[in-house]
Structure 1
Amino acid sequence: MNTKVYLKRKIAPRIANGHPWIFNNEVEKIEGDVQAGDIVDVYFHDQKFVGKGYINPQSQIVVRLLTRDKTDEINGDYFYKVIKECWEYRKQLGYTENCRLVFGEADSLPQLIIDKFNDYFVIQTLALGMDKWKPAIIDALNKIFTPKGIYERNDVPVRELEGLTQQKGFLSAPFDTNIVINENGLQFHVDIENGQKTGYFLDQQDNRRAIQHIVKGADVLGAFTYTGTFEIHAAYYGARSVLGLDISENAVKQANRNAALNNLQHIVKFETANAFDVLKQWGKDGRKYDVVMLDPPAFTKSRETIQKAITGYKEINLRGMKLVKPGGFLVTSSCTNLVNADMFMQTIEMAAKDVRRKIRQVTFQTQAADHPIIRGMDNTHYLKFLIVQVC
């Protein structure tokens, strides 16, 4: 018999509207034993069934719902069924070789991330209740895919909020964690063990194709390049010259390796530099490019520092615009869900105003469709990708 969690009479309509998170200040009472990570049944104050989820009394989000169906039994078969559904969905959309197979809340598996890199899988279990099901998740992956390898990248601080340790390592027989993937006709080295997040940013794979017409014959500058995917796409799509900058020596080394892997090292070069400083200096020097591409990290992880993040985004885009020739293009992204699309657009407009340049939108996109967006779940709608012409 599952423990029962009853919600208060006055709670936000968020839960009734489908959001899976239940905060501890929304709980009226709990009937039965509570072991962190257990599956519990959740009810509204009037005894109506809400759903089943996992509980963690030491987390601010005390319950995360897995299902709204009373007949669902949460067991190994359940995880197999849901992960199989995730795979069918990706196949329908054409994401088969590399994809985010499971995108947490958007796939009804809160705090579970699984990235598929061809025959290799990288997983993150970011909450205690999901971490407990790791054996079932691995079992499901083995049954559905017969993978060459599975690796966990649970070296993320957010786990500590759940009382979990940070860790990473093999969840299958050991394998070489430096692999090569194909994307849009190009090849890229992926460092599963030491790369950022799960080793590679799959969420921009569609956006990288969006630059193909504007970069033809262009001199291109890219900042915050990480391992150089946008810049190498630009070279592949016919840019005359491409320079990529990143503060990480390791990332630059990998980016140059990626350029060589695609035989594009004569067009695209990468250098270690602090983009903030260099862009400022080059603006003063009067340097100009046909296309400037900016893909900075999230400048904030908390609501308290949103203003600081907006200042950062404005500053970097302002410096980027200064380097664009009249009639050229700025390609820019923001990957924090705390800065929403409206805020992001306003920031870009303010930057344009400050440098007295007119901009017009070419395209505005979100993350690739293998990272589905659920309205009302802000954390699923995080990436903003924008191309503007700078006149």
Structure 2
Amino acid sequence: MLKITLKKNEDKRIKFGHPWVFSNEIATLDGPREAGAAAELFDAGGGLIGSGYYNPRSLIAFRLLSRQREDIDTAGFYRQRIAAALEHRRGVYPGLATFRAVYGESDFLPGLVVDKYGDYLSLQILSAGMERRRDLLLEALAEVFAPKGIIARNDVSVRSLEGLPETIEVLAGEIPELVEMEENGLRFLVDLRHGQKTGGFLDQKENHLLLRGLCKGKQVLDCFCYAGSWATHAGAFGAASVLGIDISARAVAQAERNAELNGLSGSVSFEECDAFERLRSLHQQGRRFGVVVMDPPAFVKSRKNIAEATKGYLTVNRRALELLEPGGYLITCSCSHHMGREAFRDVLTQAARQARREVRLVEARSQAADHPVLLSFPESEYLKCLVLQAV
């Protein structure tokens, strides 16, 4: 087995709970060094830190799976971890059939994401170590969940950082064209093969309930609506009318199906358009809304484009605030880890100033409980969801 020894004074972060070691923190490597190789990590004094796997192609050279000497190449190891993750979800969501079943480092399975959509699993393998143990993972998942089908949505660019190809592959059973899920008593169709991420977004389920007390009898605008989750909730919670906008024709078609599935086609409509341009035209037309939802895709893909992405967040939120009627609410989100909570609030403060609106923060939220945040791993907290009122 590969033995990794850290440089002097490079062990503090990982001993405090962070699960990553970067390539420039390693002093010596003794043993097989292929991508995904099982490894034991030691401090400069020879003390064992834990077990994990190594990748020479990645800046994140080592990912920790256990803080003791442990065999990470058995299905039983992963079965135990996955079962523990499931126990947490059953505790916070008793009876729920759709949820994030495994959330990477927060469930002590770095590089693995598993979403459960009823009888089907959609997973993402984001590291060479997990890719190498794919068969063990499939065996463990089959034992814990007994799913009808498992699909790998590995069409994500982060895999290239690990030297892995981007692929979509059915790994077990069959995957239907559309899978139906329930959220907050509403029904939604999910496209596991072509939808974004693993097919859908499961991290806003609690935040969608914010609309319950805000939108009754109001005109609601849902920007970057994707499959219409926010819009459908707004319609179900009594909005007078809801307009959802998205640049993707596939997303708009799916959103329309979801509204129809819940009997809301009369009050909820969608447009295929560029959100930036549509926000401008709505302002020029003098339109006003009681509630605007701003839940865009991640503008900040890496630290390199923070400045450019900040301009995007500033523009859409300024235009959203300009569209609010007096006393109206903006529910605005950022799913970019690199856009921190304070930085996001600074952007919103600047947007309010440019829109010449007096704005107060009503509530600040994060991701759903099936996306738990590991306090020693700040990268696990990414979602910011703020409710603002333009008074």
TM, length-normalised to structure 2: 0.97
**Does the CA contact (< 8 Å) of 2:38 and 2:72 recur in 1?**
no
Kept after mapping to 1: 8 A contact 2:73/2:136 = no
Amino acid at match of 2:14: I
Instruction: Please list every run of at least 4 consecutive aligned residues from structure 1 whose deviation after the TM superposition is greater than 6 angstroms.
Output: none
The equivalent of 1:225 in structure 2 is 225
Identity of aligned residues (%): 41
Shift of 1:13: 2.5
Deviations 1:155-204 (A, max 9, x none): 11221222211111211122313111111010001000000010100001
State how far apart, in whole Å, the 2-side matches of 1:207 and 1:377 are: 23
Pairing 1:299-338 to 2, within 5 Å after superposition = 299-338=299-338
Q: Which residue of 1 aligns with 2:98?
A: 98
Matches of 2:379 and 2:97, distance apart in 1: 25
Determine the structure 2 residue equivalent to 1:56: 55
Moved more, 185-194 or 277-286: 277-286
Deviations 1:358-385 (A, max 9, x none): 1122211000010001124232110000
Secondary structure of 1:254 counterpart = helix
Offset of residue 58 of structure 1: 1.4
SS in 1 for 2:101: strand
SS at match of 1:212: helix
Matches within 5 A, 1:246-285: 246-285=246-285
Q: How does 1:73-152 map to 2 (within 5 A)?
A: 73-94=72-93, 96-152=96-152
Deviations 1:40-78 (A, max 9, x none): 000000111111111111111111111102255542110
Contact 2:40–2:51 at 8 Å: present in 1 too? yes
Query: Any residues of structure 2 matched to 1:331-370 within 5 Å, and which?
Result: 331-370=331-370
Pairwise CA distance, 1:332: 0.7
Quick check: 185-194 or 137-146, which moved more? 137-146
Give ranges in structure 2 of 5+ residues lacking alignment.
Answer: none
* Residue equivalent to 2:65: 66
Q: For the structure 1 residues 232 and 70, does the alpha-carbon distance in structure 2 shift closer, same or farther, using more than 3 Å as the test?
A: same
The answer to whether residue 188 in structure 2 is matched with residue 188 in structure 1 is yes
Is the CA contact 2:122–2:151 (under 8 Å) kept in the aligned structure 1? yes
Contact 2:122 2:198 in 1 (8 A): yes
**Which residue in the other structure is 1:21 paired with?**
20
CA contact (8 A) 2:78 2:136 kept: yes
- Distance, in Å, in 2 between the alignment partners of 1:296 and 1:32 is 45
Distance 1:74 1:19 in 2: 22
Residue identity opposite 1:35 in structure 2: E
Taking the aligned partners of 2:129 and 2:228, their CA distance within structure 1 comes to 36
Post-superposition shift, 1:284?
Answer: 2.5
- Counterpart position of 1:204: 204
Aligned-pair CA distance for 1:33: 2.4
Give, in angstroms, the shift of residue 12 of structure 1: 6.3
Worse overlay, 234-243 or 53-62? 53-62
Instruction: Tell me, in whole angstroms, the C-alpha distance in 1 between the residues paired with 2:146 and 2:220.
Output: 42
What is the Cα deviation at residue 144 of structure 1?
1.3
Distance 2:207 2:241 in 1: 20
Alignment of 1:288-303 (within 5 A): 288-303=288-303
Deviation at 1:9, TM superposition (A): 0.1
- Deviation by residue 1:204-256 (Cα, 9 ceiling, x = unmatched): 11111111100111111111000100000000001010011001111101100
> TM-score scaled by structure 1?
0.97
Residue identity in the other structure for 1:21:
W
Alpha carbons 2:126, 2:158 under 8 Å: kept: yes
Instruction: Give, as a single letter, the amino acid of the residue that structure 2 aligns with 1:255.
Output: A
Match of 1:372 in 2: 372
The C-alpha deviation readout for 1:290-320, integer Å capped at 9, x for no partner, is 1111111111111011111111111100000
Q: Distance in 1 between matches of 2:126 and 2:70?
A: 26
Amino acid at match of 2:324: V
Give the RMSD, CA atoms, in angstroms.
1.2
Q: Aligned with 1:238: secondary structure?
A: coil
What secondary structure is seen at the aligned counterpart in 2 of 1:15?
helix
Of 16-25 and 230-239, more deviation after overlay is shown by 16-25
Mapped partners of 1:18, 1:101: distance in 2: 22
Provide the C-alpha distance between the structure 2 equivalents of 1:335 and 1:175, rounded to a whole number of angstroms. 28
Question: One-letter code of the match for 2:240?
Answer: R
Which residue of the partner structure matches residue 157 of structure 1? 157
Find the residue that maps to 2:15 and give its secondary structure.
coil
Which deviates further from its counterpart, 131-140 or 319-328? 131-140
**Structure 2: distance between partners of 1:247 and 1:13:** 46
The residue that corresponds to 1:44 in the other structure is 43
Paired positions, count:
390
2:260 is paired with a residue whose SS is helix
Contact 2:160 / 2:166 at 8 angstroms: preserved in 1?
A: yes
Name the SS for the 2:12 alignment partner.
coil
CA distance in 1, matches of 2:83, 2:36: 23
Tell me what 2:10 maps to. 11
SS of corresponding position for 2:113: strand
Change (3 A) 1:37 1:267: same
Gaps of at least 5 residues in structure 1 are: none
Q: C-alpha distance in 1, partners of 2:224/2:385? A: 14
Q: Which residue of 2 aligns with 1:386?
A: 386
